[in-house]
Amino acid sequence: MILEMKVPSPGESITEVEIAEWLVEDGDYVEKDQAIAEVDSDKATLELPAEASGVITLKAEVGDAVEVGAIVCLIDTGAEKPEGSDEKSNEATEKETAPVQKEAEKAPQPVQAKETYASGVASPAAKKILDEKGVDSATVKGSGRDGRITKEDAVNAVPSMGTPTGGNRGETRSKLSMLRRKVAERLVSAKNETAMLTTFNEVDMSAIFELRDQYKVDFKNKHGVGLGFMSFFTKAVVRALEMYPAVNSMIDGKEMISYDFCDISIAVSGPKGLMVPVIRNAENLTFRGIESEVKRLAIRAREGEITVDEMTGGTFTITNGGVFGSMLSTPIINPPQSAILGMHNIVERPIAREGAIAIAPIMYVALSYDHRIIDGKESVGFLVAVKEALENPTELLMDNNVKKALEM
């Protein structure tokens, strides 16, 4: 029996995927549920498992864009696993390469183009492309008649990388995944289609350090998750969003949509690039609930198990460049959201406290926002509200009852 394997739908609004990599070869025997391919959508990279055991016949190439529901391979479920398949594949490879080598030996050598007044002269279209690239036409070998530089030659021309000074100067090219291309498009779109501004502030993290030092062991023993910074920041953001609802809004054509819930997107670095899973209804979660959800989503993202639904939506984003050592940055808005908070590394710095110089753990924070719907007063007020909550978490985030807030 021949089983036709079709591309499953990764999620709503996704109509096609791209074959990122075949994990098996044509003619291989595969087991049911074995991962046979990785496919890219514009939101995530997913594994495609075999629906049955048998010999596989591939119907799509790496890099092909395939519509959801299209056939990508056939599995002969009645076939038995061939013996000595590895030896046969080696013999086949040798037989295939031999004729290629013979043909290469017989291939005629290119005829040297004669030198004329047209040699090295670029056509008008080619000249325009070379000028845009900053490439000197004298460095381009023309493939046109009598050595004339064609438009194709100009398109393929690579700008000079400077005068070689010795050493390895190789380069590699690799196709961007559909996910990476979509991320690039969204980032450029956010820069071009929003009136994006960034405001900065600094946070004295001393109070949070003291709370974590006092309760993190008991918190971990009781709840099975660590008491990290993300729960404090999420709580502070939720409080600030309730105070400044315009920051929790989006533009839809000529209308502004404001949300009475807080779905917080958190940026997570995964093996396939940046993932932004969503903590749903963060306003209803406790410190334990937030930390558990952050841990769950981060593990799923890093193991490539995150689903499109888990990354869809979100009304506000938190990104933490501090885990990589970033001191300060201007994060790019995650469209269609209107604002994003950037966390950074924590460094001990001298500050003025009650008229004296003290050393404190300081974090710089940045809020990028869409000025079309968020005014300066709201953006600055929002960031100040976040700062106040983080510097006084016992009163503003825990209602002066730390043990109850941490469910100790």
pLDDT tens for each residue of 107-147: 555 545 556 655 777 877 788 888 887 888 888 888 877 78
Give residue-wise pLDDT tens across range 55-105: 999 999 888 888 888 999 999 998 887 775 555 444 444 544 455 454 545
Q: What is the pTM of this model?
A: 0.68
Token output for 384:
């100040």
The top-scoring range by mean pLDDT among 114-128, 301-315, 333-347 is 333-347
What strands, in cross-sheet order, belong to the sheet with 35-40? 45-49, 35-40, 16-22, 65-67
Question: Beta strand 65-67 with 45-49: parallel, antiparallel or unpaired?
Answer: unpaired
**pLDDT for position 93:** 46
Token output for 57:
């016949």
Distance CA 23, CA 34 (A): 9
Distance CA 50, CA 82 (A): 18
Give residue-wise pLDDT tens across range 35-51: 999 888 766 777 889 99
Which residues are marked as active site?
371, 375
Distance CA 17, CA 45 (A): 9
Give the residues across from 196 on adjacent strands: 370
Using alpha carbons only, how large is the chain's radius of gyration in Å? 29
Token output for 361:
């753990």
Q: In this structure, how many other beta carbons lie within 10 angstroms of the beta carbon of residue 132? A: 9
pLDDT over 70 at 164, yes or no: no
Distance CA 132, CA 232 (A): 50
pLDDT over 70 at 357, yes or no: yes
**pLDDT for position 43:** 66
**Residue recorded with tokens 């009781």:** 222
Distance CA 231, CA 216 (A): 12
Whole-angstrom CA distances from 213 to 216, 217, 219, 397 are 6, 8, 11, 17
- Work out the average pLDDT over 190-201: 92
Distance CA 62, CA 320 (A): 34
pLDDT over 60 at 106, yes or no: no
**pLDDT for position 88:** 47
pLDDT over 90 at 272, yes or no: no
- What does pLDDT average to over the chain? 85
DSSP-assigned states of every residue in 159-215: -------SS-------PPPHHHHHHHHHHHHHHHHS-EEEEEEEEE-HHHHHHHHHH
Nearby residues of 151 by Cβ (< 8 Å), 6 or more positions away:
123, 125, 126, 129
